[in-house]
Amino acid sequence: MNHLLILLFTCCIPYLSNGIEFNYPAVFNFGDSNSDTGDLVAGVGDNLDPPNGQTYFKGPSGRFCDGRLIVDFLIDAMDLPFLNAYLEALGVPNFRKGCNFAAAGSTILPPTPNSVSPFSFGIQVAQFFRFKSRVLQLQSKSRRFNKYLPDEDYFSQGLYMFDIGQNDLAGSFYSKSYDQIVASIPLVLIEFEAGIKKLYDQGARNFWVHNTGPLGCLPQNIAKFGTDPSKLDALGCVAAHNKASNIFNLQLHALVTKLQAQYLDANITHIDIFTIKSNLIANFSKYGPPLNYNSQVACGQTKTINGSSITTTVCNDTTEYVNWDGIHYTEAANQHIASQILTGKFSDPPFADKMPFLLNLKF
């Protein structure tokens, strides 16, 4: 058995908590490529080519990964079907159990002309309200759509998940100084808070917020910004990127704590993704270049560079790697991260010691 899979199976089997029920009738997800199940590809009419999707879906699924994402494993643990992308019109999408508004490249702040995705957090929230309004309109006219659309009370009883903010930081390093990036974080979180408030005011009560991972450990960032060894931290990651991630996460956690005190009738859970991913990277050496990233040749592609044909082949060994394509994690890593989330040890409020019954994981 390979090293990463051994690491996967050594984590604890989680139970359920009083606060985290895991029996939500529906899930509504907002985010970027870490949880995008096809929105960007459908929304901008783009193509996501093989080998994406090769491990689980046996072909591109709209996910920037060789297989399943963290959100897929979490949804599966809740015994719910994978979330359909809001903008995906084909494949007989079913939104009975929720909807995914996350789109790769999305930021919390409004998009700029150079943004990868036009579907910023504010747009995603607006899309949700359009979705909810349309659902209620259709359900009021006929119950023949009941098989495909959530009931009205699903919107108040459902879980609202968020994994966004990475691109607000990562993209800024190409044009701004470290001090400028850190100074912009409060503005980013004001925008995030505004979206949460809108959802709360419309009846959302169950919130699940992921902080951002260690950006400096992404192979793409190491290749671009980590050529000077003095700029790397103890993990071999770009120190400035990870410091910015930590500052963002401290302020995000403070915001979640504020919202927990402000909205006493809501369940708001903060998940420390940064620590989970950092622990994984610290205990597994094969995460960075030159092992699984080439800035000139995308995963699985062949190109001629300086007269030589170059093919990236490491995508065939995805269970041996934490990173898939320089930015996104492999299915094997996502599986480990999800199982760590479900231990309850990395959440605020924690639920590791309050679990009344066993959660039967399918992975």
Which residues are marked as active site?
Answer: 33, 325, 328
Residue with tokens 């065939």: 316
Quick one: DSSP state of residue 86?
T
Three-class SS of residue 183? helix
Q: End-to-end CA distance of the chain: give it in Å, rounded.
A: 16
Can you tell me the distance from the alpha carbon of 163 to that of 249, in angstroms, rounded to the nearest whole number?
A: 12
Location of structure tokens 């963002």: 248
Phi, psi of 124 (to 5 degrees): -60, -40
In eight-state DSSP terms, residue 31 is E
Q: In which residue are the tokens 């930590």 written?
A: 246
User: How far is it, in rounded angstroms, from Cα 343 to Cα 341?
Assistant: 6
Q: Are 327 and 215 in contact (CB under 8 A)?
A: no
DSSP labels, 268-326: EEEE-HHHHHHHHHHT-STTSTTSS--TTS-TT-EEEETTEEEE--GGGGGGG-SBSSS
Query: Number of helices and strands (H, E) in the chain?
Result: 11, 8
Given a contact cutoff of 8 angstroms between Cβ atoms, the answer to whether 349 and 269 are in contact is: yes
Q: Which residues pair with 159 in a beta bridge?
A: 27, 206
What is the signed CA dihedral for 10, 72, 273, 126, rounded to 10 degrees?
A: -170
Strands 27-31, 159-163: pairing is parallel
- Torsional sign, CA 302, 42, 363, 161: positive
Mapped onto helix, strand or coil, the DSSP state of residue 358 is: strand
Of the CA atoms within 13 Å of residue 188, those in its CB half-sphere come to 26
